[in-house]
Structure 1
Amino acid sequence: MTKPLVYVTRKLAREVIDELREVAAVEVWEEDRPCPREVFLQKAEQAEALLTMLTDRVDEELLTRAQNLKVVANMAVGYDNIDAEAAKKRGVTVTNTPDVLTEATADLTFALLMATARRITEANRFLLAGEWTSWSPNLLAGQNVYHSTLGIIGMGRIGEAVARRAQGFGMKILYHNRRPKPESEERVGAGYRQLDDLLRESDYVVMLTPLTPETRQMMGEREFSLMKPTAVFINVSRGGTVDEEALYRALAEKKIWAAGLDVFQKEPVPMDHPLLTLPNVVALPHIGSATYQTRLEMAKLAAANIRAVLEGKEPVTPV
């Protein structure tokens, strides 16, 4: 009996591929760059399962051609690269990888907050350029983190994990969510605020929402104008949640103090992007969950979802 085909759009650990090969024929795009669209479409036509990355667009065009497809396992907690409604109409299961990346992403979020607040990358460039010639009271002075106020937009698993880290810094924790979460308030001592109030009160605003029609460009000119001139904005959600032109103006005109960004509207971000020209921006290449241990766990979970569906079982983490 011919095994079903699983197409994996990026090279993964051998143990993950071996796990899939127990139940399927597996083909892998071996290069460390996104699978070309035409190759992806051709493989999808034959596949019963796809193990995808955020860079792989699973849309109406692909789903129309992929007549044998049963499951798309996205190796990410987000799935805005997938038309989930179109998949549902065709009976295609969509899964993601929540939980396993929570702690690593929270670590990166807090690291980005610290680096931005204390001007770490700017100071490193200053030193390496040979500009450090003497000590000065105001040399590369940043903002306090300890005992400041943290505002979290999107109090999900990662939001709570960031709040736990903030507790160790004695921070006052505020949050905004679609609806209040009393259980989160009890676990991490957070206070619910309407968005405008959170922006006015917070020293650090951390964006951790998924990208949905409601959150697209949620942070724009009006929202940045509500923030303190000493406030820091951190985005580890999706680039599309922010109006980048409005953010640039807010930073360039000193309406807010600095920004730390792990995500952008267009990725990889063009090197001529205006935000990259500002000294008060710390920019990273979307590495929120990038630890060896976490990426392996994400791949294993995606593979487990595929295996479950191909064996006629319920997926582990359906969307």
Structure 2
Amino acid sequence: MEMKVLCLWYATEAELSRLKAALPDETEVVAPEGEYFSRFESTFAELKRHAIDAEAMIGWAIPKGILEIADKLKLLCWLHAGFDDLDFRLLKERRVTVANTRGANAIAVAEQAIMFVLALAKKTLFKHHAAQEGRRLFPVYADEYRSAMLYGRTIAVVGAGNIGGHIAKCAKGFGMHVLGVRRNKDRPAAGVDVMYDIDELRDVLAKSDYVVLSTPITPDTFQFFGKAELDVMKPSAFLVNRAQGNLIQEKPLYEALTSGRLRGYAADVWWRYEFGRAFPIGYMPRLEIHKLPNVITSIDQASNADDVLDRHLQWGIQSLVEFSNGGVPTRAIDLDLGY
């Protein structure tokens, strides 16, 4: 299929050559001109002349207005696992096929989640800082210094999909009892001992010593985890959010962490606030949860691991190849379901 493909970033010569080598000879591959700075940055002005007649686009970010003028667009290769910031309504109206790269960062993100579980349980940062300061933690078995165990404990993986499945398998390696929660509990997942439906979530939370949120963000999951869910958790339990900040309601989480209702929290992702033009967009907790002593954090670093960037590009190219051959990309998403 003769096709024009637009790279949405300042692609390097090596990246452009890789795309051209994988696609049929008649494929036109273009990119904005300019000095490479970031794969997440290009402008409407730089992309406009190519976007108006591109049949396919591939990239990590889309400037506002580009989709609106891309009248010939048939395929968007979105080089992320998540895609909640795309304009689903417009894409559906234009009948654009959207393929993501779900799974490209699955193992890296799962490892980050397990790192958080271990760091919370073993009080890693607290003990590291104590050692740096030359402080002896005495008495040795005092409650405030004692680590938690993983072996023989129960962990709930809420959203036992690709990444959640990797988290479950890692947890089994530590001798944990793994409970999975997913929309369709009849679909098994390796490493999960018992699978539950999302309607059974609170029963699962009450049984769990560790809870890892690994669900996509959809209208059904937006801020679905609030006071009612936190109240049924054990006061000794830990909560890890490896998925999206907006899955959790901020105020109930703050109150649980500061009142002793929740032992600890860890996250690589934070809330995205956008309540209108008068309210500034923000990405960090308004209640400064990230500064609490029983919280450990990073900021969107779970995917920043060896092999991940290359795999995103490789799988995006695969979707382009499948589409150019007349097929539906293996990683096409359902715009009605939102994943």
Scaled by the length of structure 2, what TM-score is found?
0.81
Deviations 1:272-306 (A, max 9, x none): 76112201111111223322212211111112213
Structure 2 partner of 1:178: 183
Q: Does structure 1 residue 102 correspond to structure 2 residue 106?
A: yes
Paired with 1:304 and 1:39, the residues of 2 have a C-alpha distance of 28
Q: Tell me the secondary structure at the aligned position of residue 183 of structure 1.
A: coil
Q: Between Structure 1 and Structure 2, how many residues are aligned? A: 312
Structure 2 partner of 1:48: 55
Query: Is 69-78 or 24-33 further displaced after alignment?
Result: 24-33
Q: Tell me the secondary structure at the aligned position of residue 162 of structure 1.
A: helix
Paired with 1:68 and 1:89, the residues of 2 have a C-alpha distance of 13
Q: Tell me the secondary structure at the aligned position of residue 188 of structure 2.
A: helix
Q: Tell me the secondary structure at the aligned position of residue 85 of structure 2.
A: coil
Paired with 2:212 and 2:74, the residues of 1 have a C-alpha distance of 37
Structure 2 partner of 1:6: 6
Structure 2 partner of 1:132: 135
Tell me the CA shift for residue 258 of structure 1.
0.4
Asked if the contact 2:11/2:31 (under 8 Å) is kept, the reply is no
One-letter identity of the residue aligned with 1:166:
A
Structure 2 partner of 1:208: 214
Q: Does structure 1 residue 246 correspond to structure 2 residue 271?
A: no
Tell me the CA shift for residue 57 of structure 1.
5.5
One-letter identity of the residue aligned with 1:9:
W
The partner residue of 1:118 within 122, 126, 129 is 122
Q: What are the ranges of 5 or more consecutive residues in structure 2 without an aligned counterpart?
A: 22-26, 274-281, 334-339
Q: Aligned ranges for residues 241-280 of structure 1 at < 5 Å?
A: 241-266=247-272, 269-270=283-284, 274-280=288-294
Tell me the CA shift for residue 218 of structure 1.
1.2
Tell me the CA shift for residue 90 of structure 1.
0.4
Asked if the contact 1:151/1:204 (under 8 Å) is kept, the reply is yes
Q: Tell me the secondary structure at the aligned position of residue 146 of structure 2.
A: coil
Tell me the CA shift for residue 175 of structure 1.
1.9
Q: Tell me the secondary structure at the aligned position of residue 307 of structure 2.
A: helix
Query: Is 156-165 or 3-12 further displaced after alignment?
Result: 3-12
Q: Does structure 1 residue 142 correspond to structure 2 residue 130?
A: no
Asked if the contact 2:44/2:66 (under 8 Å) is kept, the reply is no
Query: Is 14-23 or 140-149 further displaced after alignment?
Result: 14-23
Structure 1 partner of 2:83: 79
Deviations 1:51-106 (A, max 9, x none): 232xx3687x5422222322211112221121234213202110011233322221
One-letter identity of the residue aligned with 1:20:
L
Tell me the CA shift for residue 36 of structure 1.
5.5
Could you say if the C-alpha distance between residues 302 and 274 of structure 1 is closer, same or farther in structure 2, counting changes exceeding 3 Å?
same
Asked if the contact 2:211/2:238 (under 8 Å) is kept, the reply is yes
Q: Does structure 1 residue 20 correspond to structure 2 residue 24?
A: no
One-letter identity of the residue aligned with 2:58:
L
Could you say if the C-alpha distance between residues 36 and 4 of structure 1 is closer, same or farther in structure 2, counting changes exceeding 3 Å?
closer
Higher helix share: 1
Paired with 1:102 and 1:84, the residues of 2 have a C-alpha distance of 24
Tell me the CA shift for residue 133 of structure 1.
4.2
Structure 1 partner of 2:239: 233
Deviations 1:176-210 (A, max 9, x none): 212313533x7532343611111111110100000
Q: Does structure 1 residue 155 correspond to structure 2 residue 154?
A: no
Q: What are the ranges of 5 or more consecutive residues in structure 1 without an aligned counterpart?
A: none
Paired with 1:162 and 1:234, the residues of 2 have a C-alpha distance of 12
One-letter identity of the residue aligned with 2:159:
G
Paired with 1:4 and 1:173, the residues of 2 have a C-alpha distance of 47
One-letter identity of the residue aligned with 1:219:
F
One-letter identity of the residue aligned with 1:132:
R
- RMSD after superposition: 2.8
Paired with 1:110 and 1:40, the residues of 2 have a C-alpha distance of 41
Deviations 1:89-131 (A, max 9, x none): 2021100112333222211111111112212123333333x25
The partner residue of 1:196 within 189, 198, 202 is 202
Paired with 1:244 and 1:171, the residues of 2 have a C-alpha distance of 29
